Amino acid sequence: MLQIQSFAAGKWIAPSAKARPIYSAVTSDQIAQAGSALDTQAMLDHARNVGGPALRKLTFHDRARRLKTLALHLKAHKKPLYQLSYTTGATHADSQIDIDGGITTMLVFASKGRRELPDAHVYLDGELEQLSRNGTFMGQHICTPMLGAAVHINAYNFPVWGMLEKLAPTLLAGVPAIIKPATSTVHVAEAAFRIMVESEIFPEGSIQFIAGGSGGLLGQLNAQDSVAFTGSADTALMLRSSKHLLQNSVRFTAEQDSLNASILGPDATVGTPEFDLFIDEAYREITTKAGQKCTAIRRIIAPEALVNPVIEALSAKLDTVQIGDPAARETTMGALVSNAQRADVQARLEALSTEAKRVYGTNKAPLENGAFMSPQLLHCANPDAAKAIHEVEAFGPVSTIMPYRDLPHAAALANRGGGSLVASVITHDPSVASTLAMGIAANHGRLYFNDRDSMAEATGHGAPLPHMVHGGPGRAGGGEELGGIRGVMHYMQRTAIQGSPRILAAVGQTWLPGAPIVEAKQHPFRRTFEELELGESLLTDAREITLENIEHFAHFTGDTFYAHMDETAAKANPFFPGRVAHGYLLLSFAAGLFVEPNPGPVLANTGLNNLSFQKPVSAGDSIRARLTVKRKTKRTEDYGEVRWHVELTNQDTEMVATYELLTMVAYTQ
């Protein structure tokens, strides 16, 4: 029998005498026990005083690189996790969602961390705010890691994915985590956790693990800590009602019950690719993980005329399901996690049956041992009068089909769920999509559209992706996880910073207009990535723009727009005083003014951002450019990106154009 351990303040702690039993979903035999006596205050202290400071010493990119290493390490060591996963009733495909899906989620965060976060300790949130006329007092929002611990309370259904999807953004943010998985599958989570902690890829104190109950932990949290909960609405309500958490404004996010809907578009009649797709999606959501998915389709909403065809087609498809040993590759549906869970689903099925008639499935267990059950399809003829089908979540292979009259009715039915994680709409008609989106978006954390165009690549109604937010309003708990960098921000504090540009530059670890510059003694394009400093700046010579230049450029490029060619017509245009130089002429001349022709550290100009032409340039005007190093970001082993702020001014030092220039610069000469 497995002895599941906790990992607290750097030490493994064996189960205590009060440990709880864990049963195989397949044989119903006890296979493990878990539950340790823990000093939760010491765990918190360890996170706050050891893990947090060590994580905060690393930059976002440092942490992103370690996340990638950690994910690849898990991938290399994942095999034993599959064997454990089968004991929870999960098939091979279910286990892939859990194990490989979790690893992929971590890899996406590693990659987004490198691409979308700076190689620094402070994240700049949004744009500079001009708070004063002369620009001596400006605003910038920053995000910095919270100084406490992130407590993750995970559900039983995806012990690995559930752990990694919370852990990846937390570690990327620079915050240590204390993980408390659901006990019924804690043996899988512990095995995955052990691989991570023994790798020592993240500093000591970054991750701790509670097998069994969390004791007094929640009562010891403060406002620098946070709780991310996934599980039942009842438990969520109990936890979030804690006076201690409320009094201390402890961030609490919940992802709980959800009666997710899938709507078949009126255009998706029998014979269309969308009708078949709809059946496939519904089948997958009923059978995957035996329906124990917070995102599974609980309510199938179909046009009145299509209800019977959907029942027929879906029933035929459900006939093909192979229920059996989860470890066998031919099995397409495994067991529920436990007999207790099956009993719970059956009780809820009874509640639903007062409003809906079973049209597929039996009460008979498909196998003698284990928590297996047959998929169940219910039909509710009068969904307007019904209540339970919109409110009671049977967390198993159960779904209810109901008819709708028109799109507003379909939207009203979807919204009857009172807030869901996801709703899907299978339609090829963009106007159906946009009408339903406006009708139901406010009640849903995610809307999944699928049709013949996207079906080959679509990821499925039920799959939360690291790029997109996961969570939903109302019944779904009102929380939000994932969503790319948004998910990282959940573990950071946003702070509005006000001050002079010089001070903001120091706080934000980036140069900004108005902050002091350092006049380059050497052409900055001759300086390596390492040598260049933030604020290092070059003012070029001036170049006069002649009418000949303008005409020549026009004929050479073919850009003979009248504003450049015809004085009278140009004057009539509200933007121009008369004939003016081409914007691209100015950019090109500016490049000519600041280029350094010979090979050097600057390898390439890869792009340009936020180009704004601010004042027209007429013949006889002259322009010069000022380039200033704004931000540096390492990109490869050999070179990094340098972002330059460029200002073009005329002979009266009026601003002609501003832009951000992106270059790749070698680390060494």
Smallest distance, a second copy to C-beta of residue 520, A: 18
Cα 396 from Cα 394, distance rounded (Å): 6
Classify 334 as helix, strand or coil.
coil
**For a second copy, which is the closer residue by CB, 46 or 461?**
461
Q: Give the long-range contacts of residues 406-412, CB within 8 A, separation 24 or more.
A: 407/266, 407/432, 407/435, 407/436, 407/439, 408/439, 410/263, 410/301, 410/436, 410/439, 411/435, 411/436, 411/439, 411/440, 412/439
**For a second copy, which is the closer residue by CB, 109 or 659?**
659
Mind telling me the catalytic residues? 255, 294
Smallest distance, a second copy to C-beta of residue 312, A: 27
**For a second copy, which is the closer residue by CB, 37 or 468?**
468
Cα 326 from Cα 400, distance rounded (Å): 26
Residue 34 β-bridge partners: 4, 20
Smallest distance, a second copy to C-beta of residue 607, A: 4
**Residue 501 burial (CB count, 10 A):** 19
**For a second copy, which is the closer residue by CB, 378 or 664?**
664
Compute CA distances 297 → 37, 382, 410, whole Å.
39, 19, 15
**For a second copy, which is the closer residue by CB, 186 or 250?**
250
**For a second copy, which is the closer residue by CB, 182 or 504?**
504
**For a second copy, which is the closer residue by CB, 50 or 147?**
147
Cα 308 from Cα 357, distance rounded (Å): 13
Cα 105 from Cα 604, distance rounded (Å): 33
Smallest distance, a second copy to C-beta of residue 433, A: 5
Cα 646 from Cα 610, distance rounded (Å): 11
Cα 91 from Cα 97, distance rounded (Å): 10
**Helices (H), ranges, 174-328:** 186-199, 233-240, 243-247, 273-287, 307-318
Cα 444–389–380 angle (5° rounding)?
120
Cα 4 from Cα 13, distance rounded (Å): 9
Cα 413 from Cα 403, distance rounded (Å): 9
HSE-CB at 61 with a 13 A cutoff on CA atoms is: 12
**For a second copy, which is the closer residue by CB, 18 or 494?**
494
Residue with tokens 């997958």: 284
Nearest to 595 by CA among 508, 506, 661: 661
Smallest distance, a second copy to C-beta of residue 79, A: 27
DSSP 47: I
DSSP 540: P
Helix 186-199 crosses helix 60-76 at what angle (to 10 degrees)?
120
Smallest distance, a second copy to C-beta of residue 604, A: 4
DSSP 462: T
Tokens for 413, please give them. Answer: 């039915």
Tokens for 563, please give them. Answer: 């504003």
Tokens for 523, please give them. Answer: 């052409």
Tokens for 249, please give them. Answer: 């404004």
Cα 423 from Cα 265, distance rounded (Å): 13
Cα 582 from Cα 551, distance rounded (Å): 10
Smallest distance, a second copy to C-beta of residue 412, A: 11
Cα 565 from Cα 574, distance rounded (Å): 16
**For a second copy, which is the closer residue by CB, 216 or 592?**
592
Smallest distance, a second copy to C-beta of residue 320, A: 26
**Are 354 and 388 spatial neighbours (Cβ–Cβ below 8 Å)?**
yes
Smallest distance, a second copy to C-beta of residue 154, A: 20
Smallest distance, a second copy to C-beta of residue 142, A: 6
Residue partners of 12: CB distance under 8 A and separation at least 6: 5, 6
**For a second copy, which is the closer residue by CB, 190 or 281?**
281
